[in-house]
Amino acid sequence: MPEIESLVPDSHRDLLTSQLTATFTTVDGKGRPQSTAVWYLLDGGELLGSVTEDRQKYRNLARNPACALLVIDPANPQRTLEVRANAELTPDPDNEVVGKFAEAYGAPKEMLVAAGGARYTVTLRPWRVVANPPA
């Protein structure tokens, strides 16, 4: 699958690299969508998230990796970036990726680490990116 940066038009690249909150949608065990507000991070050409194993989105992704991330421009809600992807879950036992999120979003790492069970990095493997309005 292509790297995320090659799929995002220059007109919307700032939405990918800004520290915003996005809507992350997964599919539950009955095939229904489940959405959550999340932070995301572009790191080394990969679009990452972080989740603990006690969360519904972890259970959904472990069962079905299909997902979507929707970023809305806070200055212009008509301007959006949707990333449709398959997610890859990787254990983050040393909370290395959590530390990157803490630094990027200005949050105490301890607060993020205390959020629950074992932590996993979610790597989005995009198969389609939709930028609105089109570039």
Does domain 4-132 match CATH 2.30.110.10?
yes
List strands edge to edge, sheet with 46-52. Answer: 33-39, 21-27, 66-72, 80-91, 119-132, 46-52, 41-43
Structural tokens at position 119: 């932590």
When pLDDT is averaged across residues 114-127 and rounded to a whole number, the result is 88
- Which stretches within 45-127 are classed as H helix? 56-63, 96-105, 109-113
Q: What per-residue confidence (pLDDT) applies to 115?
A: 63
The residue extents of the domains of the chain are 4-132
Sign of CA dihedral 59, 35, 10, 44: negative
Q: What per-residue confidence (pLDDT) applies to 109?
A: 81
pTM (predicted TM-score): 0.93
pLDDT digits (tens, 9 = 90+) for 69-109: 999 999 999 999 999 999 999 999 999 999 999 999 998 88
Is residue 116 predicted with pLDDT exceeding 80?
no
pLDDT digits (tens, 9 = 90+) for 25-48: 999 999 999 999 999 999 989 999
Structural tokens at position 86: 């398959």
